[in-house]
């Protein structure tokens, strides 16, 4: 019967159920019911389409793929790949698809009861947007954390998996309906008020694993907790060289150590990077998990590490007073900041001191602590200054931004939020890591071998045009077309931004730049103005750096030049660029959530901040402590019109305007941890 129906519909573009029954010579109710059953099976298997009162072969209709947006009234619109206009989907033909699902549609025939314009019918759901639900279980339903999920999430009896009211859960959708979704609870994260459950919820939403598999933990047991004598063979011994690490007070995973000497008007800089590749072998269970994670995530007071703590805080960390295996980039640098000689070699080192940024800055400010390190520290300061000047001369852009430091109590509640402090010590490490990464990239590029590069492409004209608008809104005119502005022009323009507006302005401009990513091609780094650049200095917390270490071992230590590795480099570059973006987005969401939680106890308080963004619906204001909230346009007295050209709100009657970088006195009127939202209003003068 299926074949007969399909054969008939090939000759007939449209047919009613009556037409089909007549064609099949159906004469009784039993046969008619059988026809209806078979037609339904053909509909369910996407062989035919039902449009109005008519049926037809899908292949006889024009089909498209796209993303659907379902409106509250039940109808939808599909944004079709390659089409400039959206296709309207009547409510009858949305067919249990939900907003942001990827669907296949066919255009309904012009004789559709819905009129003559192009309308479509969803015939197949290619990919569900909602694959996992994280939220609070109320005993019957799940209230999702993601406010964009505006459907009721029901949990059928027997699908609770032990969850009770108040549990934060992770669930999988089991069926989709017009106005609700049924789901099965898979995991209980804890009670909604338990410490760190809020952060784990965001990790789940981004599919960032925070528990290591048993297979990984079993492999770790085979790794020694100290350097064995047999492991020193073939390594350059730098244990007598004065070496220090410089990190934050609370850092546990210490990737890099430095040694600095000054001889014959030249600096000798040793950047010692922990040889993680010696312990994490390719295709091991540890390696597979590290690849999947891609990077460590730093979420408020919580770290989701790429490697288990046994490695990242133990044998793979350059802890003070113990021997460690490294790959060292040794560079001879002249007083103009040029690297005139370099060597990359497997080494063994002994870190003499575990220094902090705070203590190094104290030494530079004249404190007498650690007298035996003063020469190294002051030489480091002088060399870092030379390297930075060289970068600036080459066109490197200095974006000064304010990153939040969120301090939580033992229950995970934020008790203080402030900007991360940056002193000379932080600049020293930054410059030394930059020059080491650049030197490693140049070394392998000159050998014409496959490699993993860190690239930052030139801004596209659209983004540059947006940047020019922002600068004009600040009263800074580049006097050049967007596509003619160079790094040197941006350097000069940024110098004209007032000091009190630099951080917020730079943050906004940074959003207009392309995103840095990993690539097998040496396409250069626009922001740093480097022709060749890689990530070599953090193999504990970034998988690309671990890959670079393996390539250095392959090429420089084992003398293997097989280029077949090129394909896997491309895969690593693509995946780790995605995991980096995933981690950045997760970290940003945690910061927003913790900021909102902090402000919940500061409702009604007054603050001074700078305008960090302007849209047609309101003004974003960043406070001195880096917390950002929004002033709704509806709460602003007077009529203001959004000027897209200069990204300003202007009152056409008074001429008064709001623009990025303006100082505002605001009052916090509302804050919601659940929504990660903070609402400000302008303080009445």
**Nearest Cα to 121, choosing from 181, 76, 151?**
76
Structure confidence by residue, pLDDT tens digits, 527-536 = 999 999 999 9
Q: What is the largest CA-CA distance in the chain?
A: 106
User: Of 533, 556, 590, which residue is a domain's last?
Assistant: 590
- pLDDT of 168 > 50? The answer is yes
Q: State how far the alpha carbon of 517 is from the alpha carbons of 401, 455, 578, in Å.
A: 20, 6, 9
Mean pLDDT is lowest, of 21-25, 265-269, 326-330, for: 21-25
3-state secondary structure of 534: coil
What is the C-alpha separation between 439 and 327, in angstroms, rounded? 13
Q: Are 9 and 57 in contact (CB under 8 A)?
A: yes
For the chain, the domain total comes to 5
Considering the domain boundaries, does residue 95 fall inside one?
no
- Listed residue (279, 263, 276, 277) closest to 332, CA to CA: 263
The pLDDT tens digits of the residues spanning 437-461 come to 999 999 999 999 999 999 999 988 8
Question: Under DSSP, is residue 406 helix (H, G, I), strand (E, B) or coil?
Answer: strand
8 A C-beta contact, residue 640 and residue 611: no
Please indicate, yes or no, if residue 109 is contained in any of the structural domains: no
Q: What digits encode the pLDDT tens for the residues 55-74?
A: 888 777 778 899 998 887 88
Tell whether 248 and 322 lie within a shared domain.
Answer: yes
The tokens for 593 are 């959530």
Tell whether 257 and 176 lie within a shared domain. Answer: no
Q: Which domain holds residue 376?
A: 215-458+514-590
> Of 38, 60, 82, which marks where a domain is finished?
60
Residue pair 555/562 in contact by the 8 Å Cβ criterion: no
Residue 146 maps to which CATH number? 2.40.50.700
Judgement on whether residues 570 and 498 belong to the same structural domain of the protein: no
Average pLDDT over residues 536-548: 98
Q: Are residues 547 and 613 in the same domain?
A: no
Q: Considering only CA atoms, which of 43, 39, 51 is closest in space to residue 2? A: 39
Lowest mean pLDDT among 83-92, 368-377, 589-598, 602-611: 83-92
Angle at which helix 374-394 crosses helix 424-446, to 10 degrees, equals: 60
What tokens were used for 92? 């009858």
Whether 502 shows a pLDDT value over 60: the answer reads: yes
User: Residue 685 above 70 pLDDT?
Assistant: no
Alpha helices in 271-356 (DSSP H): 285-293, 309-310
Is the same domain home to 636 and 613?
Answer: yes
585 and 607 in a single domain? The answer is no
Strand, coil or helix: 331 = strand
Give a yes or no: residue 445 inside a domain. Answer: yes
Both 542 and 500 in one domain: the answer is: no
For residue 109, the model assigns a pLDDT of 65
Q: Are residues 250 and 294 in the same domain?
A: yes
Look at residue 112 and tell me whether its pLDDT is greater than 50.
Answer: no
CATH number of the domain at 635, please. 2.40.50.140
Same domain assignment for residues 319 and 385: yes
Whether 189 and 243 map to the same domain: the answer is no
Whether residue 236 contacts residue 326, with contact meaning beta carbons closer than 8 Å, is answered with no
Nearest CA to 183 out of 238, 218, 148, 143 is that of 143
The overall average pLDDT reported for the chain is: 91
∠ CA 273-276-281, rounded to 5°: 150
What size, in residues, is the chain? 685
């Amino acid at each position: 019967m299926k074949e007969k129906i399909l054969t008939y519909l090939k000759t007939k573009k449209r047919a009613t159920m009556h037409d089909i029954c007549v064609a099949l010579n159906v004469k009784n109710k039993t046969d008619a019911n059988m026809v209806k059953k078979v037609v339904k099976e053909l509909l369910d298997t996407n062989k035919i389409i039902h449009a109005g009162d008519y049926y037809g072969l899908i292949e006889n209709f024009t089909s498209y793929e796209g993303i659907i947006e379902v409106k509250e009234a039940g109808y939808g619109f599909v944004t079709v790949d390659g089409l400039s206009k959206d296709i309207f989907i009547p409510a009858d033909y949305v067919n249990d698809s939900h907003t942001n699902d990827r669907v296949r549609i066919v255009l309904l025939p012009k004789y559709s009861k819905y009129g003559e314009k192009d309308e479509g019918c969803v015939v197949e759901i290619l990919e569900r947007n909602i694959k996992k639900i994280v939220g609070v279980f109320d005993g019957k339903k799940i209230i999702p954390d993601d406010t964009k999920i505006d459907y009721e999430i029901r949990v059928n009896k027997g699908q609770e998996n032990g969850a009770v009211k108040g549990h934060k859960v992770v669930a999988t959708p089991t069926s989709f309906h017009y106005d609700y979704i049924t789901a099965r609870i898979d995991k209980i994260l804890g009670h909604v008020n338990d410490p760190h459950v809020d952060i784990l919820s965001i990790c789940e939403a981004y599919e960032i694993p925070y528990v290591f598999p048993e297979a990984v933990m079993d492999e770790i047991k085979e790794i020694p907790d100290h350097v064995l004598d047999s492991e020193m063979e073939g390594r350059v011994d730098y244990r007598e060289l004065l070496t220090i690490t410089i990190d934050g007070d609370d850092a546990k995973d210490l990737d890099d150590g430095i040694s600095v000497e000054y001889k014959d008007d030249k600096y000798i800089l040793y950047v010692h990077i922990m040889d993680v590749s010696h312990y994490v072998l390719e295709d091991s269970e540890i390696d597979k998990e590290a690849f999947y994670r891609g990077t460590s995530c730093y979420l408020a007071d919580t770290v989701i590490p790429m490697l288990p703590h046994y490695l990242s805080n133990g044998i793979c960390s350059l802890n003070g007073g113990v021997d460690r295996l490294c790959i060292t980039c040794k560079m001879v640098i002249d007083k103009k900041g040029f690297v005139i000689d370099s060597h990359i070699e497997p080494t063994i080192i002994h870190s003499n001191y575990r220094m902090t940024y705070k203590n190094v800055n104290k030494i530079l400010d004249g404190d007498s602590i650690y007298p035996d390190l003063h020469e190294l520290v002051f030489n480091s300061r002088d060399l870092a200054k030379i390297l930075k000047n060289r970068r600036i001369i080459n066109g490197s852009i200095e974006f000064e931004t304010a990153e939040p430091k969120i301090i939580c109590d033992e229950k995970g509640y934020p008790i203080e939020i402030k900007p991360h402090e940056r002193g000379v010590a932080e600049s020293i490490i930054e410059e030394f890591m930059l020059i080491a990464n650049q030197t490693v990239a140049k070394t392998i590029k000159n050998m014409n071998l496959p490699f993993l590069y860190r690239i930052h492409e030139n801004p596209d004209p659209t983004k540059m045009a947006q940047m020019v608008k922002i600068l004009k809104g600040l009263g800074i005119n580049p006097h050049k077309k967007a596509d003619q502005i160079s790094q040197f022009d941006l350097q000069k323009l940024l110098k004209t931004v007032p000091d009190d507006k630099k951080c917020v302005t730079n943050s906004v401009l940074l959003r207009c730049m392309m995103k840095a990513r990993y690539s097998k091609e040496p396409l250069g780094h626009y922001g740093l103005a480097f022709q060749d650049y890689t990530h070599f200095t953090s193999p504990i917390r970034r998988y690309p750096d671990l890959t670079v270490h393996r390539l250095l071992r392959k090429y420089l230590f084992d003398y293997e030049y097989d280029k077949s590795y090129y394909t896997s480099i491309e895969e690593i570059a693509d995946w780790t660029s995605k995991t980096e973006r995933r981690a950045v987005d997760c970290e940003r969401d945690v910061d927003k959530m913790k900021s909102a939680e902090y402000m919940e106890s500061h409702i009604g308080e007054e603050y001074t901040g700078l305008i960090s963004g302007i849209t047609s619906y309101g003004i974003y204001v960043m406070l001195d402590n880096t917390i950002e909230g929004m002033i709704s346009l509806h709460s602003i007295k007077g009529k203001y019109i959004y000027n897209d050209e200069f990204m300003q709100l202007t009152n056409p009657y008074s001429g008064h305007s709001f623009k990025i970088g303006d100082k505002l006195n605001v009052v916090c009127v509302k804050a919601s941890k659940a929504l990660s939202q903070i609402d400000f209003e302008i303080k009445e003068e």
